[in-house]
Amino acid sequence: MVREKKTGKLYALKCLKKKHLTHSNLENEINVLKRIKHDNVVGLEDFYESRTHYYLVMQLVSGGELFDRILDKGVYTEKDASKVIKQVLQAVSYLHENSIVHRDLKPENLLYYNTDENAKIMVSDFGLSKTLEHGVMSTACGTPGYVAPEVLAQKPYSKAVDCWSIGVITYILLSGYPPFFEENETRLFSKIMRADYAFHSPFWDDISESAKDFIRSMMEKNPTKRFTTEQALRHPWIAGDSAKDLDIYQSVCEQMEKNFAKSRWRQALHATSAINHMKKLQLSHCESPPSPDADAAAPDAAHPLDPNGNPVLRCPGPEDGQAVCPPLRASHSEPGDVHTFHSDSDAPYRPSSR
């Protein structure tokens, strides 16, 4: 946190060591941030550079992450979830209108502006964002549990990938667990590519049909049939009064605490495994398949880091030339984090019973 001498105003300072960064990715984030100004998007105020560091002066957002706020609420309803998603849709709609695709929407990139009870939601982290020049992209990147089927299938994709991610986030906000969960990553990715999810009983019994219809429209496998942000903003669950006012706090929070509170060592292990999986997908798409007994790629010197200090992979993407593809950052709130590594005391990743 830094204070501007002239005004006394507080800002967040992002300080990044040059030697740990992939420059093109940082440059991309800065270029995107310079272009955008919206009430629900964390803004870049200024940028400085020294011989060894980059300094990004960002709008200060102090309200914490989305999941943490929900867990602290005590009472939580569909209407609360609808209000959050409406703000996300408004921000992403603005981005899309300005030909920007976020490509890494997930709960930990949704922050509250301050600690006020009615604080607004802010979309953050534009390290993977892309400015659309020809309407389609092909670089595989994002976070495993939130990426759209066409990304995992290594097909050209568009801004519709953001709408899929919003659908996944909505699913989690109403149930406390992700729509896709598998102990085996290959099966997980296969499920996502088939859009193979369901509204399980009893966890979805009290959720409105309107909410489920909204999720189906956002998580449509065919991106040409998937809702746009404009269509989503007109849906009754967002624009109308079809979101229930029934308290679902106990059920949702029980699942969130079970499925998203993960230790740091498991996060690191998942990051390594997921990077290796995406690397194999990229190699199989671009070259010959890797050996089945190939060692897991560790996030070390072989993988440069992005502006957040996360491992990145280099993978060819026509819209980027030889693109830097920073995928799969592990954190406590990534669905992929919970299906790969577990100790003897850990139950397999699936919704717990009431």
Percent above pLDDT 90 for the chain? 41
Is residue 116 part of the annotated active site? The answer reads no
What's the confidence (pLDDT) of residue 8?
86
The four Cα atoms 11, 16, 18, 24 give a dihedral, to 10 degrees, of: -80
CATH of domain 66-260: 1.10.510.10
Q: Where are the domains of the chain?
A: 2-58, 66-260, 264-338
Mean pLDDT of 280-293: 46
Alpha-helical segments (H) within the chain = 23-35, 66-73, 78-97, 149-152, 160-175, 185-194, 209-218, 229-234, 236-239, 249-260, 264-286
What's the confidence (pLDDT) of residue 56?
84
Q: What is the pTM of this model?
A: 0.72
Angle (nearest 5°) at CA 307 between 306 and 310: 45
Per DSSP bridges, beta strands 2-3 and 130-131 are: unpaired
Catalytic site residue from 80, 104, 125, 162: 104
Judged against a pLDDT cut of 50, whether residue 329 lies above it is answered with no
Quick one: fold of 2-58? Phosphorylase Kinase; domain 1 (3.30.200)
Integer CA distances (angstroms), 189 to 36, 174, 186, 350, in order: 33, 22, 5, 16
Judged against a pLDDT cut of 60, whether residue 306 lies above it is answered with no
Judged against a pLDDT cut of 60, whether residue 32 lies above it is answered with yes
Mean pLDDT of 218-242: 97
Judged against a pLDDT cut of 50, whether residue 342 lies above it is answered with no
Query: In this predicted model, what pLDDT tens digit does every residue of 141-175 receive, in sequence order?
Result: 557 789 899 988 888 778 999 999 999 999 999 99
Mean pLDDT of 69-89: 95
